[in-house]
Amino acid sequence: MLAASGFLTIGVFLALVLSRRVSVLFALTLVPIAAALLSGHGAGLGELVADGLVTVAPVAIMITFAVLYFSLMIDAGLFDPAVTRILRWAQGDPLKITVGTALLTLLVALDGDGASTFLITVSALLPIYQRLGMRRIVLAGVVCLGAGVMNMVPWGGPTARAMAALKLDSAQLFLPVLPAMIAGICWVLIAAYLIGRSERKRLGVVSIETGERVKLTGADRARFWINAALTLALVGCLLFQLADLEVLFLVAFLVALLINRPSWQGQQELFAKHAYNVVLVVVVIFAAGVFTGILTGTGMIKAMAESLVAVIPDAGGALLPVVTAIAGMPLSLVFTPDAFYYGVVPVLAETSAAFGGDPAAIGRAAILGQMTTGFPLSPLTASTFILLGMSKVDIGDHQRFIFGWAFGTTLVMTAVALLTGVL
């Protein structure tokens, strides 16, 4: 009975989300609440919801201050000199411009926000592509590859969703796949080189003027170097887990706020400008806490996993993480990130645990497979249309052009993850 209720709950959730009949927030909250009431768990509903909210609270806090921190750094111009240097280095060589596109995307995408990444990179590079006659589909494709890999950072959407859905922290989920992510970055640069080489053969090298160098003087120069040092220190502390991520981002944001927006008015302007992005992400994280809290607390996820164990051969249990990583790529084109991480991944994780596997391995596999295509290629992800709209590329052409390279990213990262024993 519980297994059937669980599958029905997830089925209704997926149907509502994929059909876009209701918002993700609505589906993540009212559907499991209705399921709990109908399955006879109404008396303990408050406790189930509270347990789920407490579980995801650290992730929500981390996301809040991570988005605010990197938004502040972008507003402060931390990445502007790097943009100018990359463009001046590339000059009129299509190969260098393509590799520079990948480098710039990898740098800007450190904030984990696809929309801002696309706005910055496409705005800076599209005029150069048009001046040289380079194909806009190359710009969209290379940005897609770089943003897909970098959005695996713990404050990016997919990893944050996986942590919330499986009740894991970044030490369990992200750090083990860091070597695989580095391999994915290397693959993106190789792919950019090969794509750029074909553009160079097609167009040759053209001499162009890339604009004036960004010059910083006085207080602006001092502020720039302080911001750079603070960001490097933050990234180092995050990688070495010197404190909880939410604490690190909170402290770093407060320090950055005092440096860049010391006045009350300046701080209010910052919050007003970026409040929408923060609230949109955090509310969904808390809604996910309701969803997973109810499905876990009522025993539905466990019951669903037990029913899957009964039909999966024993030999298939060990292969479940690898299958999840590879199948996550095509699945990401038909499932939204919310549907995939909150509806599918918890069941796969519990099934893996029933076979004696590590549930965290399913979470790692999910971000290796789903992120390389779901975020920058899926028509179900809104930010995909920001990229395509700005670069003026058709989504079908975009998918056909970059799908193979993106799948290569998944395969490379999955292979490294297997070699390092994290799957």
- Secondary structure (DSSP) of 364-396: HHHHHHHHHHHHHH-TT-HHHHHHHHHHT--HH
What does the pLDDT look like over 17-47, one tens digit per residue?
A: 767 778 878 888 999 999 999 988 888 999 9
Q: Which of the pair, 316 or 186, is modelled with greater confidence? A: 186
Integer CA distances (angstroms), 4 to 51, 292, 306, 354, 378, in order: 23, 16, 12, 18, 30
Weakest-pLDDT range from 75-84, 257-266, 272-281: 75-84
The reported pTM is 0.70
Q: Is the pLDDT of residue 340 over 60?
A: yes
Burial of 229 by CB count in 10 Å (0-12 exposed, 13-18 middle, 19+ buried)? exposed
Q: Is the pLDDT of residue 80 over 80?
A: no
Question: 417: pLDDT confidence band, cut at 50, 70 and 90?
Answer: very high
Q: Is the pLDDT of residue 162 over 80?
A: yes
Query: What per-residue confidence (pLDDT) applies to 194?
Result: 96
User: Which one of 124-128, 163-167, 264-268, 299-303 scores highest in mean pLDDT?
Assistant: 264-268
Q: How far apart are CA 412 and CA 391, in angstroms?
A: 28
Q: Is 344 helix (H, G, I), strand (E, B) or coil?
A: helix
Q: For residue 109, give the amino acid letter.
A: A
CB 2 within 8 A of CB 300: yes
Q: What is the mean pLDDT of the chain?
A: 83
CB 373 within 8 A of CB 329: yes
Burial of 268 by CB count in 10 Å (0-12 exposed, 13-18 middle, 19+ buried)? exposed
Q: Is the pLDDT of residue 387 over 60?
A: yes
Query: What per-residue confidence (pLDDT) applies to 207?
Result: 63
Q: Which of the pair, 213 or 57, is modelled with greater confidence? A: 57
Q: How far apart are CA 168 and CA 165, in angstroms?
A: 8
Please work out, in degrees rounded to the nearest 5, the angle formed at the alpha carbon of residue 250 by the alpha carbons of 249 and 255.
Answer: 95
Query: What per-residue confidence (pLDDT) applies to 115?
Result: 66
Q: Which of the pair, 255 or 64, is modelled with greater confidence? A: 255
Q: How far apart are CA 204 and CA 198, in angstroms?
A: 10
